[in-house]
Structure 1
Amino acid sequence: MTAERSDVQTVFHMIEGDEESMDRTLTLAGNLADDDTVDVDSIVVLAQAEGIDPLTKGGHGESEVQSLVEEGVSFAACSNTMEMMDLEESDLHDGVEVVSSGVGELTRLQNEGYAYIRP
């Protein structure tokens, strides 16, 4: 079966704090970025709650996050989560955007046609 090429916008929701879940989310985002049968327009990994850890300096999976940023994957961190966990923007990797709320950003992206994936 040959896959048709189409423009794709996808948001991965990283909310769980266990390492397996975070690794799975980052792996799937990378797999999509590397899939040459799909014309990927935009990939966003939105992190909130305990899922924010890989976006922090020294967090689990930080090298994978940096590699994905270099591949063009966007990362967004929920400011409500950051406040709750006493994190500052300086605690995040370069290239991570802070959004006002995770649920608001997910709603906005889905309204813009992004596919929602929560591994």
Structure 2
Amino acid sequence: MPIAALALALSMPAVAQDDTQRVVYHVDFADPTRYSATLTSINNLINDAEQKLLPWDVHLVLVGYGIRFATDDPLQGTPYAADEDLNERRAELKGRLQTLIDVREVNVHLCDVTRNEIGLSEGKLYEGIELVGSGVAKIADLQREGYAYLKIQ
């Protein structure tokens, strides 16, 4: 290998030197259908990685309205209060999220700024959700580390 090529290869970030699917999904919206599409997208990405025998490292970051998908609390009196559509789909969405956490090893993070804003206790969050100081800062950190950013529209 020529010296210039070797120097270039050594200067590349570590993430470029393996085939791991590194993705961060951003949820800051209230729509349960859009959130459902996000969970489907995560599952499809992991299925594809499995079929290609590639490792994955997927993160889901919940910010703002995304808190609605991290708890069974109705969040009454807050800007994030559950509506009829969410109440009808909550059990299904929660089950799908728990499967992604428990079986697919998806890392789920909730913005602690949002949680503190409405005074929701940590004990009301679904199991496996990690609090981060700032959700948008977590997303920026992951992007800086080479994670692809996805947000379902």
Partner of 1:66: 98
- Equivalents in 2 of 1:54, 1:41: separation in Å? 23
Q: Is 1:40 the equivalent of 2:55?
A: yes
**CA-atom RMSD, angstroms?**
1.8
Q: Is 1:117 the equivalent of 2:146?
A: no
* Gap runs ≥5 in structure 1: none
Q: How far did residue 85 of structure 1 move?
A: 2.6
Which TM-score applies when normalising by structure 2?
0.69
Tell me, yes or no, if the aligned pair for 2:23 and 2:149 is still in contact at 8 Å. Answer: yes
- Equivalents in 2 of 1:48, 1:40: separation in Å? 26
- Identity across the alignment (%): 29
* Gap runs ≥5 in structure 2: 1-17, 74-85
Rg (Cα) greater in structure: 2
Which TM-score applies when normalising by structure 1?
0.88
SS at match of 2:41: helix
Would you tell me which structure has more strand in proportion to its own residues? 1
Tell me, yes or no, if the aligned pair for 2:46 and 2:56 is still in contact at 8 Å. Answer: no
Question: For each residue in 1:54-77, what CA deviation from the matched residue of structure 2 results, as whole angstroms up to 9, or x when unmatched?
Answer: 221367311111111122111000
4+ residue segments displaced more than 2 Å: 57-60
SS at match of 1:93: coil
Would you tell me which structure has more helix in proportion to its own residues? 2
Q: How far did residue 26 of structure 1 move?
A: 1.1
Q: Is 1:108 the equivalent of 2:106?
A: no
Tell me, yes or no, if the aligned pair for 2:70 and 2:129 is still in contact at 8 Å. Answer: yes
- Equivalents in 1 of 2:53, 2:27: separation in Å? 22
- Equivalents in 2 of 1:44, 1:102: separation in Å? 11
SS at match of 1:98: strand
Q: How far did residue 41 of structure 1 move?
A: 2.7
